[in-house]
Structure 1
Amino acid sequence: MITYHAGNILHDQADAIINTVNTVGVMGKGLALQFKKAFPENFNVYKKACDDKSFHTGQVLSVPLNSMSAPFYIINFPTKSHWKGNSKFEYIEQGLESLKSEAVRLGLKSVAIPALGSGLGGLPWGKVERLLENSLSELPDIEWLIYPPQSAPEADAMPNKTTRPKMTAGRAAVLGLIDRYVSTGFEYRLSLLEVQKLVYFLTLSGEPLNKVIFKKHHYGPYADVLRHVLERMEGHFITGYADGSNKPETPIELKSEAAEEALHFLDQNIETKQRFNQVAELIEGFESQNGMELLSTVHWVATQESDSADSADISSEELIRKVHNWNARKAGMKPAHILAAFERLKQKQWLEFKVPTI
C-alpha cells in the first residue's frame, strides 16, 4: 500500500526510514545531513562501507538502530555516486529493486521514503513518483509512506544527537563576534554571508583557525571549510544551519547561553580576546550583509590584487576598477562606499594583513 505524507520524515514511526546518500561517505547537506545528526551511528556504518569501497549505487545499506520503538532501521539508498554529481534514474530503478528485496528480508511492515533523487539530486519529482508507484505497488502488503518534495523543517525541529563539541578559542571568538554583531540593534538575524566575513577578518587578525583557506567568490572572500565548522556547531552553539543550506542569506542565531560561555572563555584567553576586539572595532558601522561584503571585498582587492607593492598605496582608480570588475554584483558598489571602506581598513592598519589563499 502506498500512502503520501507531509512533515519531517525523521519523526516518522515506520519500521524503516530511507536516507538518500552518495557512495563516497559524505552527508554534507540537505536530508542526508539531517540524518547524520539524528542518527550518528548510522553515519559511522555508512562511512565505513564507503571507505571500504563495498557500497555502490544499486545497493541499499540497512543499519539497525537497536531501538525498542520504531524506526528500527535506517536504510541508506544511493541516488548518486558522488555528492558533486546529479542523481540518475537508473540508480533509483536499481536501488528500488534492492530495497524491495531488503524489506522482505527484514520482514518490514512499513517504510518511509523521501523524494528519491529530487531536490538536491535534480530529478523531476513527477517522473520519480511514477517510478516509485510502479515499483512499490509490487509489494502491497508493505506500507510505503512517501514524502514528496518539501522545504526543510525549521532548524529547531531537526533532531540532533551529535556530541556537543568543546569550546575552543576559535569557536569562542566566532560566537563572541556573532553576539557583538547582533547586539548592535539590527532586527534581522545574522546571515551566513556575514559569518563568512567575520571569520575572514578573524583569520586576518592572526587567530589560528585550522584549515580555513579563503578564495575569491561571488560574495567576496569565501572559505568552504566553514560549512563543516558551522555544521559541527549547529544545534549546540548556533541554530539555523541544520540542513547545511549554503546560501548567503541563511540566518544564523546563537543558542541560549552560547554567547555567555564564549565570552567567559575569551576572558581566559587574552590573545584571542585582543584579536576579537580588533575585529569588532574594524567592522563597527559595517554591520550588514552589504557592509560586510563591501569591507571584505575591498580588503581582498587591496591586498591580493593591487599593482602596488604596498597595499595601502593602491590608487583610488585602480581600487574602484578592480572591485567593479570582480563581477556584476560588485559593479553596483558605489565608489564613495568603496573608498570609505578602504579608509577604514587603512586607518585601522588592516591592509598589512593577508589571508592564506588557494
Structure 2
Amino acid sequence: MIKAVHGDITKLQGVSYICNAANGIGPMGGGVAAAIRKAGGKEIETEAIKVCKEQNPMPGDLYVTHAGTLPFQGIIHLVTMKQPAGPTSYDVVRTCLHNLVAYCRKQGIDKVALPALGTGVGNLDKAKVAAIFKEVLEPVKDIEFIVADIDQDFIALFA
C-alpha cells in the first residue's frame, strides 16, 4: 500500500522508520540526507560514515543507523549512488525498493516513510521513478509505504 504526502519526511508522525536517499560512503550533504542530518543531528552522519566503512554498501544496497534526536527507531539509508552527487539509474532505484521490502519484512516493519529516490542530484525523471515505486510497492499488502517529499510535482504523480 502506498500513501503519498507532501512535506518534510523528518516531521512525519506514526512511522517507526524513515528512509534516506543515500550514497555509499556516508556523508549527508544535500537534499533529503541534509534535511535528516539537520533535523536529527550530525551523529547520524557520523554513524553513516562508520557503517559505510565497515559494510562498503553498493548502489541498490541499504544500511541502517540510529535516528539521532528524531522520534524514529532508525534511518534506513537506501544507497542510490556510490559517491555523493554521483550517477544513479532506474535499475538502482528498483533494487533499493526491492531490498527495502525484504528488509521491512525481515524486521517486522509494517509502516515506513521514504522520499523520491534519484530525482534530486540523481536527475532521474520523476514520472519514471513514481512508476517504479508503484510497480514495486503497490503489490505489497503487508507494509504501508508513506512516500513523503517536499516536491509537490512528485507527490502529485501518486494522486
Is the shorter-chain TM-score for this pair beyond 0.5, marking a shared fold? Answer: yes
Which residue pairs with 2:2 in the alignment? 2
Q: Which runs of 5+ in 2 are unaligned?
A: 153-159
Q: Which runs of 5+ in 1 are unaligned?
A: 152-358
Q: Give me the identity figure in percent.
A: 27
Q: 1:65 to 1:25 in 2, by over 3 A?
A: closer
Separation in 1, partners of 2:132, 2:39: 28
Q: 1:8 to 1:66 in 2, by over 3 A?
A: closer
Runs of 4+ in 1 over 3 A off after TM superposition: 64-67
> TM-score normalised to the size of structure 2?
0.83
Q: 1:96 to 1:149 in 2, by over 3 A?
A: same
Which residue pairs with 1:113 in the alignment? 114
Q: 1:93 to 1:50 in 2, by over 3 A?
A: same
Larger Rg: 1
| More strand per residue | 2
Give the conservation status (yes or no) of the 8 Å contact 2:63–2:77: yes
Give the conservation status (yes or no) of the 8 Å contact 1:119–1:149: no
- Identify which of 56, 59, 62 aligns with 2:61: 59
Asked if residue 81 in structure 1 is aligned to residue 54 in structure 2, the reply is no
Shift in Å at residue 83 of structure 1?
1.4
Asked if residue 28 in structure 1 is aligned to residue 29 in structure 2, the reply is yes
Separation in 2, partners of 1:134, 1:70: 30
Count of residue correspondences: 150
| More helix per residue | 1
Give the alignment of 1:105-144 within 5 angstroms. 105-144=106-145
In the alignment, residue 43 of structure 1 is paired with which amino acid? E
> TM-score normalised to the size of structure 1?
0.39
In the alignment, residue 32 of structure 1 is paired with which amino acid? A
Which residue pairs with 1:11 in the alignment? 11
Asked if residue 71 in structure 1 is aligned to residue 72 in structure 2, the reply is yes
SS across alignment from 1:141: coil
Cα RMSD between the aligned structures? Answer: 2.2
Q: 1:54 to 1:119 in 2, by over 3 A?
A: closer
Give the conservation status (yes or no) of the 8 Å contact 1:115–1:146: yes
Shift in Å at residue 148 of structure 1?
4.5
Shift in Å at residue 58 of structure 1?
1.8
